[in-house]
Structure 1
Amino acid sequence: MHVLAATNNLFPEPEATGSGRYNYEVGRRLAARGHRVSVLTRRRGDAPARETVAGMDVHRYRASIPRLPWTLRAVARRVRAVERDAPLDVVCFHGALSSFGVDLALSDAVPRTYTVHGLWATEYAERAPDASGLGVPWQWANRALRGRIEGRTLARSDAAVVLSEFMRERVAAAHPDAPPITVLPGGADAERFAPHAADGDGADDASGAVPPAPADRRRTEFLTVRRLTPRMGLDTLVDAFASVVDSGADVGLTVGGDGPLREALEARAAARGVADRVTLAGYVPESDLPATYARADVFVLPTLAHEGFGLATVEALAAGTPVVGTTAGATPEILGPLEDEAAIPERLLVPPGDSDALADALAAWHRTGDEARAAASAACRAHALDAGYTWERVTDRIEALLERVRAGSR
């Protein structure tokens, strides 16, 4: 089966998002199973126009919304290059801009699936600065155009995929003409993200944003790995963490990731008197993530809104690290069943933006004894595996869906 994935980015590019990671993990596994996998993605910096990545044939094009006609022509040229190599059996859309161009260039006879990782218009509204004057109608028109482009391509697809029930409801409401929607969650590499990664797994002891713990350590280490943007709720986390410190608890907080709020978070930590307890680690390399998750005592996901799934959540669970998250978006779908298990001694879910509730949850986990923590760690990993949050299981389901779409069955 020759599969073409159209995506806005692809791991391991530094700019890769969750959708880029999803495509990489599923694509390389499909290639390992003998399928021909081509990828069409945006070209950034000095990245080559074409290369092989983990068994996938990757084609890149330059993209620009203001120069949309030029971008669409570039996409069409790349699609023709892919089809010259071998006829396409199915196309997988991930991301509205690249998918729109591919859809225009393809014959209607080629089956299509569309995986919606996030609604394009909503994501634009979150990133766009507050407008005034003539900027208001421009932003409104820009958002409307993005919604129209995404809706058109989605309506022309044979099947839609989302990563959560939360996203199924949002897509159905935003695009009533969408094809049947299937929920296929994301996953983690269960061999790499595992409790033994805390020992470095053969790597240098310096690997990982959270340092190895001494044998007699009593401090509780909290961790989050997020893009430093308002939606992620990191100001709420700093306030909650400061409240735990004020209670006399010996705790530390590592924040992995970069973004526009870095200076504001540094200032907030200083104002709350916890600058010496908060480490803003910046970008955490992929090679360091397993050890970073496994060395933390608790992973925190303080998202305020629009959490479409949460790859970081299932990676932390696979590493045996409990996750305290908010009830925003899809997080309750992952953590809700786990929170009810007897081996989980404290709450995992709190209301978004509620620093007091988050502080109470973090303080409770800090007070948890070693034996209870070990049982919780085992329960977290078992939940990730049993619920199918592994890339092998995800690829099984994607492969079956593509075969059905290819055969003309939804």
Structure 2
Amino acid sequence: MKTLQIGLDWFPEQPSGLGRVYYNCVNYLPKVDVEVKGLVAGSKKVSLGSQGQVRAFAPPDSPLIKRCQGIRKSVCQLLAESDYSLIVSHFALYTFPIQDLIGDRPLVTHFHGPWALESGVEANKRIAVKVKKWLEQSVYRRSQQFIVLSQTFSDILHQEYQVPLEKINIIPGGINIDCFNINLAPIEARSQLGWHQDRPIIFCIRRLAKRMGLENLVAAMAKVRTVYPDILLHIAGKGELATTLKTQIAELELEDNVKLLGYIPDEQLPLCYRAANFSVVPTVALEGFGLIVVESLAAGTPVLGTPIGGIPEILKPFSEDLVFEGYHPEQLARGIIETLSGDRILPSSQSCLDYVQTNYNWPAIAQKIKLVYQRALTD
């Protein structure tokens, strides 16, 4: 089976949840006899970094018209060079301009999230949201099969975009466990990172954006500090909310308890997870899966998450103590204090690893994706 996969960007250049799933599809699908050629917005280094499997059709910061022209030109070139039995979309914006080029080839869509709805949460631009949703629906009407990361995304795809349930396949995100299962004690990980050895540390990695719930988490830390004065929260990530968070931390006089780490290189993430007592995912809206939840568990570090989207789908079957009652600051604070006091029982590092190994290992996930691709070919 030969597939042409249309992505958003190249994960090593632009870290994101969508990018990571696409990156792993490129790496793991060939191991189950699914040949992959890919196109993304990126630099000229993409082809070298992917051993020629993926090409960049335009720089990600180039004007939209240039990116649309680039994706059309690149698809024409690839279709002229070889025949593809299946076209796979990971991002509707870059699939929309090539619909007429697909011909009678089946199209499978990996639905990584409601692009239009997410935009509506981040900024109140109604016309832009309507245009994005129309564009998404145009691509989705053309798709034979869909892959979603969670029941939550299945519901959104069905209810918001009117996609029939029989076309939707739930396949959770996965990880390369060997990358996160590092053989280090937490004290050794802290030493390598230069983190405090004798303070309880919470780790949170998120894009610094509104729907991630980071303002609520910072507010919760003001309450946690009254009970545990030496608590330390490390927040990793970059985004438009950085200035707001810095101001909030200063106003609450939390400079000694909350640190903004900025961008963390991918190779350092396992160390950061491993160095923490536990991780927190404080999302307030539209969390389709929560790959960082699985990453933390694979590093042997328990993670507390809000009951939003796909987060409880991962955590509740493992341990209900890992799910907050809600996402408001007082609910986050109560959950963190109960965890630090031992009233909430955290699973062991080995239990965390075993759970991920059983449920979120990429080789098994690649096989499930292949079955959906095969179904699209016979529809």
Map of 2:82 onto structure 1: 86
1:76-132 deviations in whole A, cap 9, x for unaligned? 211121123321021111111111123222112x1211011111211222333x4xx
Q: Aligned with 1:291: secondary structure?
A: helix
Given the superposition, is the C-alpha separation of residues 72 and 265 from structure 1 closer, same or farther in structure 2, using an over 3 Å criterion?
Answer: closer
1:114 equivalenced with 2:88 (yes/no): no
1:358 equivalenced with 2:357 (yes/no): no
Match 2:227 to one of 247, 254, 261: 247
- With structure 2 as the length reference, what TM-score do the two structures score? 0.91
Given the superposition, is the C-alpha separation of residues 68 and 366 from structure 1 closer, same or farther in structure 2, using an over 3 Å criterion?
Answer: closer
Map of 2:365 onto structure 1: 394
The answer to whether the Cα contact below 8 Å between 1:93 and 1:115 also exists between their aligned partners in 2 is yes
Match 1:281 to one of 255, 261, 284: 261
Q: CA deviation at 1:68?
A: 6.0
Given the superposition, is the C-alpha separation of residues 34 and 278 from structure 1 closer, same or farther in structure 2, using an over 3 Å criterion?
Answer: same
The answer to whether the Cα contact below 8 Å between 1:325 and 1:348 also exists between their aligned partners in 2 is yes
1:37 equivalenced with 2:36 (yes/no): yes
1:147 equivalenced with 2:133 (yes/no): yes
Q: Please give the alpha-carbon distance, in whole angstroms, between the structure 1 residues aligned to 2:65 and 2:218.
A: 45
Map of 2:276 onto structure 1: 296
Given the superposition, is the C-alpha separation of residues 65 and 288 from structure 1 closer, same or farther in structure 2, using an over 3 Å criterion?
Answer: closer
Q: Aligned with 2:83: secondary structure?
A: coil
In structure 1, the gaps of 5 or more residues are 131-138, 341-346
Q: Please give the alpha-carbon distance, in whole angstroms, between the structure 1 residues aligned to 2:374 and 2:51.
A: 20
The answer to whether the Cα contact below 8 Å between 1:39 and 1:56 also exists between their aligned partners in 2 is no
Map of 1:229 onto structure 2: 209
Q: CA deviation at 1:141?
A: 3.0
1:349-406 deviations in whole A, cap 9, x for unaligned? 224432122112111221239xx65x533322222222x2122222121122223323
Q: Aligned with 2:208: secondary structure?
A: coil
Map of 2:167 onto structure 1: 180
Give the superposed CA RMSD. Answer: 2.6
Q: Aligned with 1:327: secondary structure?
A: coil
Given the superposition, is the C-alpha separation of residues 25 and 56 from structure 1 closer, same or farther in structure 2, using an over 3 Å criterion?
Answer: farther
1:12 equivalenced with 2:8 (yes/no): no
The answer to whether the Cα contact below 8 Å between 2:209 and 2:240 also exists between their aligned partners in 1 is yes
Map of 1:135 onto structure 2: none
Given the superposition, is the C-alpha separation of residues 197 and 277 from structure 1 closer, same or farther in structure 2, using an over 3 Å criterion?
Answer: same
Q: Please give the alpha-carbon distance, in whole angstroms, between the structure 1 residues aligned to 2:90 and 2:283.
A: 23
Given the superposition, is the C-alpha separation of residues 400 and 291 from structure 1 closer, same or farther in structure 2, using an over 3 Å criterion?
Answer: same
The answer to whether the Cα contact below 8 Å between 1:303 and 1:328 also exists between their aligned partners in 2 is yes
User: Between Structure 1 and Structure 2, how many residues are aligned?
Assistant: 377
Q: Aligned with 2:183: secondary structure?
A: helix
Given the superposition, is the C-alpha separation of residues 34 and 330 from structure 1 closer, same or farther in structure 2, using an over 3 Å criterion?
Answer: closer
- With structure 1 as the length reference, what TM-score do the two structures score? 0.84
1:48 equivalenced with 2:44 (yes/no): yes
1:2 equivalenced with 2:2 (yes/no): yes
Q: Please give the alpha-carbon distance, in whole angstroms, between the structure 2 residues aligned to 1:66 and 1:141.
A: 22
The answer to whether the Cα contact below 8 Å between 1:27 and 1:56 also exists between their aligned partners in 2 is no
Q: Please give the alpha-carbon distance, in whole angstroms, between the structure 2 residues aligned to 1:90 and 1:305.
A: 33
Given the superposition, is the C-alpha separation of residues 49 and 149 from structure 1 closer, same or farther in structure 2, using an over 3 Å criterion?
Answer: farther
Q: Identity across aligned pairs (percent)?
A: 28
Q: Aligned with 1:337: secondary structure?
A: coil
Map of 2:54 onto structure 1: 58
Q: Aligned with 2:240: secondary structure?
A: coil
Match 1:190 to one of 170, 177, 181: 177
Given the superposition, is the C-alpha separation of residues 282 and 69 from structure 1 closer, same or farther in structure 2, using an over 3 Å criterion?
Answer: closer
Q: Please give the alpha-carbon distance, in whole angstroms, between the structure 2 residues aligned to 1:329 and 1:16.
A: 21
Q: CA deviation at 1:213?
A: 6.2
Q: Please give the alpha-carbon distance, in whole angstroms, between the structure 2 residues aligned to 1:181 and 1:160.
A: 5
Q: CA deviation at 1:190?
A: 0.9
Match 1:266 to one of 236, 242, 246: 246
Given the superposition, is the C-alpha separation of residues 50 and 332 from structure 1 closer, same or farther in structure 2, using an over 3 Å criterion?
Answer: closer
Q: CA deviation at 1:176?
A: 1.3
1:225-278 deviations in whole A, cap 9, x for unaligned? 001111111111112122111114431110000112212212222222221121
Given the superposition, is the C-alpha separation of residues 140 and 264 from structure 1 closer, same or farther in structure 2, using an over 3 Å criterion?
Answer: closer
**Farther-moved stretch of structure 1 (307-316 vs 359-368):** 359-368
Q: Please give the alpha-carbon distance, in whole angstroms, between the structure 2 residues aligned to 1:269 and 1:66.
A: 35
Q: Aligned with 1:269: secondary structure?
A: helix
Given the superposition, is the C-alpha separation of residues 56 and 326 from structure 1 closer, same or farther in structure 2, using an over 3 Å criterion?
Answer: farther
**Farther-moved stretch of structure 1 (298-307 vs 84-93):** 84-93
Q: Aligned with 2:53: secondary structure?
A: strand
Q: CA deviation at 1:35?
A: 4.0
Q: Aligned with 1:191: secondary structure?
A: helix
